[in-house]
Structure 1
Amino acid sequence: MKKRDWFYFIIVLLSVNLYAQKKKDSIIQIQEIIVSGKAPISKERVTAKQLQEKNLGQDIPYLLKNNLSIVSTSDAGAGVGYTSLRIRGSDQTRINVTLNGVPINNAESQGPFWINMPDIASSLSNLTIQRGVGTSTEGAGSFGASINARTQAPSSKPYFQTDQSLGSFKTHKHTFGLGTGNLFNEALKIDAKISFIKSDGYIDRAFSDLFSYYVHGLYEKNNTTVGFMTFGGKEKTYQSWNGIDAQMMKKRRTFNSCGAIYDSDENIVRYYNNETDNYNQNHYHFYIKQKLTPIWTINSTFFYTHGKGYYEEYKQNSKLSNYKLKDIIIGNETISKSDLIRRQWLDNNFYGIVNRLSGNINKWNLEVGISANSYEGYHYGNVIWGKYFSNEHIDHEYYRNKAIKNEVSGFFKAIYDLTQNLELFADIQCRSIYYKGHDVPGGESIFKNGGTIKFNKNYNFINPKIGTSYKIEKGTIYVTYGLTQREPSRNDILEKSNVKAELMHNVELGVQQNLHKFSYSVNWYGMYYINQLVLSGKINDVGSFIRENSGKSYRTGIELSSSYQLTKKVSLSANSTISINKNINFKKETSSYIEKLGNTPIAFSPSYIGNLIAEWKPIKKLNCKWINQYVSSQYLTNEKPKNGKLEGYFVSDMTFEFSPSLLSMKYLNFKLALNNIFNCKYENNGYYNDNTPYYYPQAGFNFLTGISLKF
């Protein structure tokens, strides 16, 4: 690590005890402890204004990258396109994402795909991050963290708004929104938005071409609320999931081998210009909120999501038999291998209902929830071109299989006010999951050297949680315990048929106070796993990480947040996570032997994450921030290889926001984001294949700037 990095690392560590009390309009609020009628769980809430201050085209993982315990990554290197985040080292398959309580995670892969909801941040009223098992109200599938996003209610006044931004790597975003205001005796109101985002990306050819829409109508009368919301996105991105090795990184950090076409001497002669990922996804939510009595309220949401898309890839010298094609006879020559172009398709439907009944009886706060959903996914592949193909081979289908996943879940949550200052909390959740994968008759899949896809799994889980909170002067002390279990994903099952479900015990103990000019929170967590599915460090042929059961393992650490108001114009804020993440008696299994490696670090789990933010308001309408993040080193595999590590890095950003008042406009705002101002060369993601580490380099200094107008 460079001396400068050590210097900033020490600043971040020391600043934990010197935090300034944030004002309501700062980017990141101090960690909030929920008390009084809600579970005693530590969480962070990010408001719409906080999101919009940074929303210039980057995806949500990059808008949240300085929140507590978060590390964000980007395949294209600049925060647009395929992005992801990890919380406490847990990858996105463990992070349960909901929108207005509706599950967003893909039912099979279990992770959210932010690229399928481009610019959803423009339509959010707030976003809440829970770490650990969380509560059942934040979704059934949480196994390490939860993100619950809430959309904005349609405006009661008519408006037109536009947000325009541009920046490095030919990045530009154009968003247009309008609202009808109150209609039909102020009972109905409708908002609508469309957005276009394009970027060439930092990595070679890693372009993104994204479109999204959002429409939300709301009818309210007396004790009844009825709403309909539809939103969706269309994306086309050039693939950039291959990463590069250390030798190539020294020569050309932006090198991208995806789409490369080689000659007989392994020299790149050209690139296939349509080595792309293409996907459309559309969401439909119909919801009803009815106040039954002064005590009881019921909420029901019916939802349907449809997605369809494909990867297109140029494959060189591929065996025709792998694509269920016969050898081609040309004259006296028999062709068994050929260059070809394939498309791997996914066509899926996901639908269900979420019901919640809540009420207050004397000292009891009660909530009951019942949800059911069903997923149907068709996986199939076509060969659309071949070097030696005749017309009869074109658009040849070489595999087709279907997946069905059904889930029914329910929970009961209760909070009891034992005394004026002491609350008790209990939450029990039941989940029943049926998951089946099979070949479609006549379209048998070829998987792993000729094997077919066939599995039939049932999982039944009971997940209890208990806790208590005690109010102190301007603060709270709390403790919670939760047990949760989770089923493997499709990729887990296909990689290893006897893969096991995971179980985690989670304890959270914390304190939080908001004093006059000083606010702080301290949270200790312990997460003990049985059969945790840890990232192995390897990726499959479409860039997804392969996971493996690690036996017993644990994560434990201290999360610290604080803020301090230096003057009326200057404040400081910081957060830090110091953690230990270990596999217990980890074993490396091969076809011929089992190697015992003892206790090893869990892959992609840095022991320290720290953020320091200085905020300055030189004049009333101008807000300036200096945002710093340090992430310590992390291993690419669970075997602790000497050459398989991501080095620690320090990244510093600056943002400026100016909001002058003009009589003809409701809102005028100028924004400028200067990212990685010290031009740090760093990698925050990678993988390990055949004893060789591969990295995803991130952009050096870059900028984004924008203007927002509202009439």
Structure 2
Amino acid sequence: MVKKRWLFLALALVGPLVTWAQHRMSIKVVDKQTQRPLAGATVGLEGSLASAQTNLNGSVQFKNLKEGTYRVQVRYLGYKTINQTIDISADESMQIALAPQAFLADEVVVNGTRANANSATTYKNVSQKELAKNNLGQDLPYLLEQTPGVVSYSDAGAGVGYTGLRIRGSDPTRINVTVNGIPYNDSESMGSFFVNLPDFASSVDNIQIQRGVGTSTNGAGAFGASINIQTNTRRDTAYAELDNSYGSFNTWKNTVRLGTGLIDNQFTVDGRLSRIQSDGFIDRGASDLKSFFLSGAWYGNKSLVRANVFSGKEKTYQAWNGVPEEKLFGTPDDIEGFIAANGLEGKDAENIRQANPRTYNSFLYQNQNDNYQQDHYQLLYSTTAINKLTLNGALHYTRGSGYYEEYKAGEKYTDYGLNPVVIGDSTLKKTDLVRERWLSNYFYGLTYSAEYKANDRLNLTLGGAYNRYKGDHYGDITWSRNPLFTAVENYTSAPDNSFQTAYRYYFNKATKNDFNVFGKGDYRIGNVGLFADLQYRRVSYSFLGYDRNLNNVQQQVELNFFNPKVGISYQLANNSMAYASYSIGNKEPVRDDYENSTPDSRPKAERMQDIELGYRLGGTQFNAGFNAYAMFYKNQLILTGQINDVGAQTRMNVPDSYRMGVEADVKWQPIPAFYWALTGAWSQNKIKNFVEYINIYDENWEVADQQINALGRTDIALSPSFVGSSELSYRPIADTEIAFISKYVSRQYLDNTSDQERSLDAFFVNNLRLSYQLRFKGVKHIGLSLLVNNIFNEKYESNGYTYSSIYEGDPTVYTNNFYFPQAGTNFLLGLHVGF
């Protein structure tokens, strides 16, 4: 807890460290042709943290400036960006005129679902430059780790392969992800699998993370956050870039990026090809990832057309079982007890005895791989042909197909819909087998928005989407040690007495239609901004599930959601603002919730009320965002252990739960060569009245009953009460950076019981980043980067799971905890060459 207090103290002390200087500078931004003031233009002073938006009079003021030379940058959508050098030796007042841009900028594509500096929304923008600093091979969740409230995790332990992130304790199924405004979350599971888009950050221009419900967007409901990704934007000059990285665990990343620049003042073509390979920290936790990105655009003075085609292909050895507690923390006797309790023998028993406790992987089968390919096609169109009106539309299509293969020992024939096999006088009830579980899906639709800027006070947006998902789910047995059928013609004998088969033991289809429409507007009265956002969403889902007679039949549900949002902001004189908002979000259950229940036990949709209060401050040496939030859930879906009427442990609704907390995002830059960035997120995440259900098994390992424990107010699983980060950056000479990066995450409970015996210990991890830029004739730049992760070799686990059981006649509750250890000290060394 000392480390936690240290971060808290740092945040408290940084606030008053603003260096007061002598001068002020007032800037008024106007339209060059009409001389009309431009409200909402962004004005920044390069080399400092100062950035602000102009008021209704087109004016902005910077105070406490030291004497010296400043480079002022002024940006406004639809106008050419101005960079101007100004010498400050006394108070200055100046006017900057922006000329209308000769082409439509890519930013309009995502503008309809984005928050801006005057929005009553809690958000964080991450630029391509910030992403590139750490983009040496790890997946996107690890590149976002320094943003408030984010906890990332990796199955293979080193940030390559299967990774994920939680924001405010909310898991990936509750985080809405869009790419150019197009939904990315899987329509059925609601998760976002970044392993299917390896090295995607190399084609990203910027990311906005909105915490809480946020603004209306497309796709799955945002229940903890939304991640809005915009891919590459216009580059006027031709370029070629090579990125190569090598690091621990035989990790390689190779990336080639090419671009034509602007052709005939209208066309651009950009492309990327990437490969990432890693053996992983966990035994056999290897990943082989490939991807490409191709984009072509046409720019007119009032219209824009962009076509994107991108794809990812992954082959990842499974490491999703984790390490049992007995192996990670126990004695040899504990390990022997685990072996006996789980019936391990032969190579499996020797594996758990001999493996390194922190790298143990229970899987030994050589092809225990996950294989999946996902191809994306996007056609984006924007136009401002009608005065004051911007129209955006996008067509999209995603094709996904793949499977995971696994070896299963001693499987019952009846579990696969087969009868026991009789050979002579012998009856075979079980067999060893290899199976593949397949997904083959299609996702397509359209998104649109119309933005009407009536005047400097009023903006209106109408938007929405219609998307359709079609997915086939099926499983094949590809090999069995014993025959699957008694009829000889159904199998062939092999020299090793094994039997080949291609038996399909299940097949079902799912279809989901997702329609939404939203309207929002913001209106300014002096320094006060008013905001309203109303969304209607309709979901229709057809799936294979149990009916009231426990027959597996095709079923359908239809859900209608209304998601209103209102907010108010107040612009203060010192380039700061305060805001408050109230939002309601609704979210449907996931596939497993529907598939493993009946209409009588089917869970209800979740509902959340989100209250956000915040303050943002921008200065030349210090900027900060502070906010408080309260998210109140009705019918939140969680695992309780309760068995429903079809014998499944699906998620159940809990009537009342909440997340409440405060967040800080602070950056201090006393001199141009040094900055300190800090984030902190303190929270309480509670279920008001939690009831735990524990299975009681009979001698045949069948569930005979359940023990019920009423536990009252408990913590929500995997929701730390504190998450903090720090980045200290120093540039001792030009083109050189030394950065010390820290991350602290407090205790996380593996389930909802608040039992410390079922939890992840707090961890404090520190990384070191070194970079140096070189320039040679004929080469634009050469960049060398070294990222040393976990430099103090902290032994920690960032994810895990647990389950408990009781056996008839024995009142003891046996709890099994599993953990995902993360790598100790490791490195990534990168070389970037730009032409």
Deviation at 1:24, TM superposition (A): 9.0
Who is 1:542 aligned against? Answer: none
What do the CA deviations read for 1:300-322 (whole angstroms, capped 9, x no partner)?
A: 00000010000101000101122
Q: Which residue of the other structure, out of 441, 452, 455, is the alignment partner of 2:552?
A: 452
What do the CA deviations read for 1:423-448 (whole angstroms, capped 9, x no partner)?
A: 10000000011001038xxxxx9x9x
What do the CA deviations read for 1:448-472 (whole angstroms, capped 9, x no partner)?
A: xx96364321100000000010001
Are the aligned partners of 1:550 and 1:586 in contact in 2 as well (CA < 8 Å)? yes
Match status 1:413 vs 2:513: no
Q: Which residue of the other structure, out of 200, 209, 215, is the alignment partner of 1:120?
A: 200
Deviation at 1:7, TM superposition (A): 4.3
Who is 2:571 aligned against? Answer: 471
Provide the C-alpha distance between the structure 2 equivalents of 1:76 and 1:453, rounded to a whole number of angstroms. 38
Deviation at 1:486, TM superposition (A): 0.7
The change in CA–CA distance for 1:340 and 1:30 in structure 2 (over 3 A counts) is farther
Q: Which residue of the other structure, out of 113, 120, 127, is the alignment partner of 1:47?
A: 127
Match status 1:653 vs 2:653: no
For residue 236 of structure 2, give the secondary structure of its aligned residue in structure 1.
Answer: coil
For residue 273 of structure 1, give the secondary structure of its aligned residue in structure 2.
Answer: coil
Who is 1:175 aligned against? Answer: 255
Q: Which residue of the other structure, out of 682, 689, 693, is the alignment partner of 1:585?
A: 689
Who is 2:832 aligned against? Answer: 708
Aligned residue identity for 2:517: G
Higher relative contact order, chain-length normalized (CA < 8 Å, sep 6+)? 1
Who is 2:317 aligned against? Answer: 238
What do the CA deviations read for 1:102-122 (whole angstroms, capped 9, x no partner)?
A: 000000000110000000000
Aligned residue identity for 2:758: G
Match status 1:524 vs 2:519: no
Are the aligned partners of 1:230 and 1:282 in contact in 2 as well (CA < 8 Å)? yes
Who is 1:435 aligned against? Answer: 541
Deviation at 1:510, TM superposition (A): 0.8
Who is 2:80 aligned against? Answer: none
Match status 1:153 vs 2:224: no
For residue 659 of structure 1, give the secondary structure of its aligned residue in structure 2.
Answer: strand
Deviation at 1:267, TM superposition (A): 2.4
The change in CA–CA distance for 1:146 and 1:535 in structure 2 (over 3 A counts) is farther
Who is 1:494 aligned against? Answer: 595
For residue 620 of structure 2, give the secondary structure of its aligned residue in structure 1.
Answer: coil
Provide the C-alpha distance between the structure 1 equivalents of 2:346 and 2:391, rounded to a whole number of angstroms. 67
Who is 1:88 aligned against? Answer: 168
Q: Which residue of the other structure, out of 585, 603, 606, is the alignment partner of 1:484?
A: 585
Provide the C-alpha distance between the structure 1 equivalents of 2:235 and 2:525, rounded to a whole number of angstroms. 40
Who is 2:752 aligned against? Answer: 638
Aligned residue identity for 1:367: T
Provide the C-alpha distance between the structure 1 equivalents of 2:732 and 2:347, rounded to a whole number of angstroms. 61
The change in CA–CA distance for 1:388 and 1:137 in structure 2 (over 3 A counts) is closer
Q: Trace 1:312-331 onto structure 2 (pairs within 5 A).
A: 312-331=405-424
For residue 267 of structure 1, give the secondary structure of its aligned residue in structure 2.
Answer: helix
Aligned residue identity for 1:595: N
Deviation at 1:251, TM superposition (A): 6.9
Provide the C-alpha distance between the structure 1 equivalents of 2:501 and 2:479, rounded to a whole number of angstroms. 6
Unaligned runs of 5+ in 1: 1-5, 440-444, 539-544
Are the aligned partners of 2:544 and 2:553 in contact in 1 as well (CA < 8 Å)? yes
Provide the C-alpha distance between the structure 2 equivalents of 1:36 and 1:57, rounded to a whole number of angstroms. 31
Deviation at 1:563, TM superposition (A): 2.0
What do the CA deviations read for 1:231-259 (whole angstroms, capped 9, x no partner)?
A: 01000001011111222013799x999xx
Provide the C-alpha distance between the structure 2 equivalents of 1:140 and 1:642, rounded to a whole number of angstroms. 33
Normalised TM-score (structure 2): 0.78
Provide the C-alpha distance between the structure 1 equivalents of 2:6 and 2:349, rounded to a whole number of angstroms. 47
Provide the C-alpha distance between the structure 1 equivalents of 2:117 and 2:732, rounded to a whole number of angstroms. 40
Match status 1:619 vs 2:713: no
Are the aligned partners of 1:404 and 1:436 in contact in 2 as well (CA < 8 Å)? yes
What do the CA deviations read for 1:402-439 (whole angstroms, capped 9, x no partner)?
A: 111001100000001122x1110000000011001038
Q: Which residue of the other structure, out of 376, 393, 397, is the alignment partner of 1:283?
A: 376
Provide the C-alpha distance between the structure 1 equivalents of 2:129 and 2:530, rounded to a whole number of angstroms. 33
Are the aligned partners of 2:677 and 2:727 in contact in 1 as well (CA < 8 Å)? yes
The change in CA–CA distance for 1:75 and 1:35 in structure 2 (over 3 A counts) is closer
Q: Which residue of the other structure, out of 779, 784, 796, is the alignment partner of 1:665?
A: 779
Q: Trace 1:196-235 onto structure 2 (pairs within 5 A).
A: 196-235=275-314
Structure label with greater radius of gyration: 2
Provide the C-alpha distance between the structure 2 equivalents of 1:404 and 1:137, rounded to a whole number of angstroms. 21
For residue 322 of structure 1, give the secondary structure of its aligned residue in structure 2.
Answer: helix
What do the CA deviations read for 1:125-169 (whole angstroms, capped 9, x no partner)?
A: 101100000001465521210000101124322222110001001
Are the aligned partners of 2:181 and 2:217 in contact in 1 as well (CA < 8 Å)? yes
Provide the C-alpha distance between the structure 2 equivalents of 1:402 and 1:29, rounded to a whole number of angstroms. 54
Match status 1:187 vs 2:266: yes
Identity across aligned pairs (percent)? Answer: 39
Q: Trace 1:600-619 onto structure 2 (pairs within 5 A).
A: 600-619=714-733
Q: Which residue of the other structure, out of 110, 126, 142, is the alignment partner of 1:62?
A: 142
The change in CA–CA distance for 1:141 and 1:331 in structure 2 (over 3 A counts) is same
Who is 2:349 aligned against? Answer: 267
The count of corresponding residues between Structure 1 and Structure 2 is: 688
Match status 1:10 vs 2:124: no
Deviation at 1:37, TM superposition (A): 8.4
Are the aligned partners of 1:261 and 1:268 in contact in 2 as well (CA < 8 Å)? no
Aligned residue identity for 2:535: Q
Deviation at 1:677, TM superposition (A): 0.5
What do the CA deviations read for 1:655-692 (whole angstroms, capped 9, x no partner)?
A: 11111222211221111000000000001100002222
Normalised TM-score (structure 1): 0.91
What do the CA deviations read for 1:498-548 (whole angstroms, capped 9, x no partner)?
A: 11100000000011111232222210000000011235599xxxxxx9643
Provide the C-alpha distance between the structure 2 equivalents of 1:360 and 1:30, rounded to a whole number of angstroms. 23
Aligned residue identity for 1:567: I
For residue 153 of structure 1, give the secondary structure of its aligned residue in structure 2.
Answer: coil
Aligned residue identity for 1:652: N
The change in CA–CA distance for 1:268 and 1:513 in structure 2 (over 3 A counts) is same
Provide the C-alpha distance between the structure 1 equivalents of 2:187 and 2:403, rounded to a whole number of angstroms. 18
What do the CA deviations read for 1:244-277 (whole angstroms, capped 9, x no partner)?
A: 1222013799x999xx995479624792100010
The change in CA–CA distance for 1:47 and 1:355 in structure 2 (over 3 A counts) is same
Are the aligned partners of 1:30 and 1:562 in contact in 2 as well (CA < 8 Å)? no
Provide the C-alpha distance between the structure 2 equivalents of 1:332 and 1:589, rounded to a whole number of angstroms. 44
Provide the C-alpha distance between the structure 2 equivalents of 1:602 and 1:261, rounded to a whole number of angstroms. 33
Provide the C-alpha distance between the structure 2 equivalents of 1:320 and 1:635, rounded to a whole number of angstroms. 38
Deviation at 1:493, TM superposition (A): 1.9
Are the aligned partners of 2:609 and 2:631 in contact in 1 as well (CA < 8 Å)? yes
Provide the C-alpha distance between the structure 2 equivalents of 1:431 and 1:15, rounded to a whole number of angstroms. 43
Who is 1:442 aligned against? Answer: none
Provide the C-alpha distance between the structure 1 equivalents of 2:406 and 2:277, rounded to a whole number of angstroms. 22
Are the aligned partners of 2:183 and 2:218 in contact in 1 as well (CA < 8 Å)? no
Who is 1:394 aligned against? Answer: 501
The change in CA–CA distance for 1:17 and 1:37 in structure 2 (over 3 A counts) is closer
Deviation at 1:21, TM superposition (A): 8.4
Unaligned runs of 5+ in 2: 20-43, 55-113, 352-362, 484-490, 493-498, 643-648, 695-704, 805-814
Provide the C-alpha distance between the structure 1 equivalents of 2:589 and 2:761, rounded to a whole number of angstroms. 30
The change in CA–CA distance for 1:505 and 1:621 in structure 2 (over 3 A counts) is same
Provide the C-alpha distance between the structure 2 equivalents of 1:285 and 1:35, rounded to a whole number of angstroms. 23
Are the aligned partners of 1:233 and 1:280 in contact in 2 as well (CA < 8 Å)? yes
The change in CA–CA distance for 1:699 and 1:576 in structure 2 (over 3 A counts) is same
